[in-house]
Structure 1
């Protein structure tokens, strides 16, 4: 998994999907991140010529000093949040044609065929007629259910590409709830209603309030004629079981489930196919050396970074990584609080989306999440984070080998 930048996606009018241009007058897509102390020009002050060597030495020292993520406080305009609602770069080149169903699981081929038909229906929706009294068919809403690693995200991204990324808002559940937090509910509906498709990856129930919020958002969008697609690891009727039991909350889940056509995607269970990667951690000194040798790499104490994440809205974690070529973490150890763990999961997702290698010092990913966390209601998030962090740490290990 190479840490390279993926292709940019087609832009809507007034919008650059990868950030940059303004969207609907919402402002420029710039991010304010504190820079290192600027070098002083030799011509800036009298007598600067005789100070050229110290200035050059200072510049070299700054260049060798890694940036800290904990020193960054990005400001992200709404336009950028909207512009980045595209499939992750891991799936930038994927399509229905590149999805190869496993012949042992007929549901994979069935889901593929159905999604091809859904894409065609979204591109050319059937029209109603006042002459015949026929109403326009409601926009499709599909729900891909299956375990880890069976290709749900591949299929969802393929659907987005088939419809057109310029007509699709694609993001994770957290990204959409963060968008509502940034814009407000009504402006979010207006911002998303112009899409032909809204695609939600990893539809998980971490908070009943967020679930009610998303349920309402999807109802509003469906009423506007927007097609919906989502992925999860459980059937909609089962979402939330074992976490919350409030009667009104379960009623909200059932109402949401009724909106979707469920497409089961079976496959070999991830537990039998692969184990979570928990490679050997690196010595902290090796992490520091590798980071200093790599331009654009960052270096942070793990506990300090966890504390900083609590001060940054999760919608800004992507901007936190702007220009970052690798992330080095020293003194990595078990995460003590679930709130910290959930924020770390979001950061790992953003790192994974961007193919940013990670160098783990301390105890590495071993024991990062407690046994209680891995048995609890958020266990799927934690296992996903461990899997992704393991892959990124493998990439980070290659940096030390090549250095």
Structure 2
């Protein structure tokens, strides 16, 4: 049988023809992991610097994941028209612009400007994720797509850990005044304290912007696979609306909505949970609990991906989602140190869920794979919706009770995994 253009692209990539492009693509997982988890530090920092409620701090994640939601389809359309390089370069440039906006936002001490900067960063990440995730699933055998994407996404928790280390050491001051101390300060002292806390973000985000711009320049000069445009020239392209006629894809999108909401909510409020349930912990010690969560997440990603060589991805997803549900429920009902340890341990079992849901969701979509990918990326809006629900629950009940929200979300993911086990395995031929 004559080899198709896409088949030639995949073979060339496997032989190393696009080694530089694949290296940059894997680095993208690192870059957005760092951006996502710096938000968890920003929530703690902004709560202190702007004196916000838990619901108000959730605006950080709301605007961030709204950016993903709004720009996933434009990213998919750009990929269809211009290929992977255009999507990746556009995403990196937007990411850098958003990071640069942190400088004037901090100078003016305006929470709204910070939210705008985060929205711009997220719009760039929508382009990066819509490009990188389907690219990694396409390059090779369809039966190993979930495992291959998990290996590529192993760079994501490393980026997340880096983000927490940057935030802990260069943003969080470790200084937190109680209400009595603040009341005893003069107006000038209070303003000085709040301004110093806000301006702590300037230098880290300026450096991030420069690093991201360097990657954008590298992506411009490196050759990327152009299979997307080749497919467009040899076969009619179905309309984007065709994805809504794929029930399994819609189920995957809902599962991803629940997963991202659970992950973002758990990590966003880990510091808050630690401070509320173990009062002896200071701000930086609470951040260390978030750091421990991400280390476990990284370990889980590597070990879980290795297990996929022996265990069907859907089976592993089912087991990990059930355990995550149980640990979130313990965090909600037990509280104290036991609840905190359960909350931290849940990260190990969350590790393989995003890429596995993604890979299972785009199985068998053929020419709709990239459009389907953008729909699953749009589902990242769950990070805004469920985090807001957790913030509201915390304000009206307690931060521990708020952990019931991700517990329920993991039930939905387990249901999706169970459904995946009932589906036939993908063929070896790919799409």
TM-score using structure 1 length: 0.30
TM-score using structure 2 length: 0.29
Say which structure is richer in strand. 1
Relative contact order higher in (CA < 8 Å, ≥ 6 apart): 2
Say which structure is richer in helix. 2
